[in-house]
A and B are shown apart, each in its own frame.
Chain A
């Protein structure tokens, strides 16, 4: 499938401050060693309306990052073995379930600089989809975690914006 024009996403470098007086975070996408970008590939394979909703939620969260309530109830802190991760949960046609898995890049200025990030960011790692009333396997989650660990090993981060 050729890349969609709609995937020319909005610039993620808004300069204005939000209502809380906090600078918006950036949205970055993990780039794998083979130079693919799993999250963008996932989004390109989603229905257009789902892709658009994911983008809208990411923009909202970046504009008003945690711990503030943000993302319209579609952004959720994960628990258990996925503690430290956040996911965006959407329902598509036929109740198909779409998930986008993210990590937060926050820390002191020095730490962020070491990661090659000028400011805090939402790091979008990868996504998965499943039929309604089915569950992802342990292997599925392990794969997500492996990508996250690979992302966090990189100083500076290897990313697409």
Chain B
């Protein structure tokens, strides 16, 4: 990984993968902590059990945000966007357009 462009692409992809994985796993941990079966959770969000089971075992690609939000809500939790660091905020701040982009971490709060 001597190529800076390759390294940057790898690190960006790794962050994105880690965030998605963390959210799904945290949902599953919360489900287990609450003693709710996958089938019951599926029923609460009006999905079939297999879709929820596939979600938690990587049997399904690209989990949809509306489903994630619905599952979090059914577990008494919610998704939040959390700025990673002040430095990251500065790096992604576009002063001319008064707009901030990305550089966020997803967190589940219950």
Interface set of A (CB-CB < 8 Å, partner B): 4-6, 8-10, 48-49, 51-53, 55-57, 59-60, 64, 66-77, 89
- Partner pick for A67 among B5, B14, B57, CB 8 A cutoff: B57
Q: Is the CB of A60 within 8 A of B17?
A: yes
**A71 CA to B28 CA, complexed, in Å:** 16
Q: Is the CB of B14 within 8 A of A69?
A: no
Q: Known contacts A4-B3, A8-B1; is A48 also within 8 Å of B9 by CB?
A: yes
Q: Is the CB of A72 within 8 A of B20?
A: yes
Q: Does B25 contact A (CB under 8 A)?
A: yes
**A57 CA to B25 CA, complexed, in Å:** 16
**A51 CA to B8 CA, complexed, in Å:** 12
Q: Is the CB of B6 within 8 A of A4?
A: yes
29 A-B residue pairs with CB within 8 Å: A5-B6, A6-B1, A6-B2, A6-B3, A6-B5, A10-B1, A48-B6, A48-B9, A52-B7, A52-B10, A52-B13, A56-B10, A57-B13, A60-B14, A60-B18, A60-B21, A68-B25, A68-B57, A68-B58, A69-B21, A72-B17, A72-B20, A72-B21, A73-B20, A74-B17, A74-B62, A75-B58, A76-B58, A77-B58
- Nearest A residue (CB) for B6: A6
Chain B 1-48 interface residues, beta-carbon cutoff 8 Å to A: 1-3, 5-7, 9-10, 13-14, 16-21, 24-25, 28
Q: Does B56 contact A (CB under 8 A)?
A: yes
Interface set of B (CB-CB < 8 Å, partner A): 1-3, 5-7, 9-10, 13-14, 16-21, 24-25, 28, 55-63
Q: Is the CB of A57 within 8 A of B17?
A: yes
- Partner pick for B14 among A59, A66, A73, CB 8 A cutoff: A59
**Set of chain A residues within 8 Å of B62, measured between Cβ atoms:** 73-74
Smallest beta-carbon distance A121→chain B, Å? 17
Q: Is the CB of A64 within 8 A of B21?
A: yes
Knowing that A56-B10, A60-B14, A72-B20 touch, tell me 5 more A-B residue pairs with CB under 8 angstroms.
Answer: A52-B7, A57-B17, A68-B58, A69-B57, A75-B58
Q: Known contacts A74-B61, A76-B58, A76-B60; is A5 also within 8 Å of B20 by CB?
A: no
Q: Is the CB of A52 within 8 A of B9?
A: yes
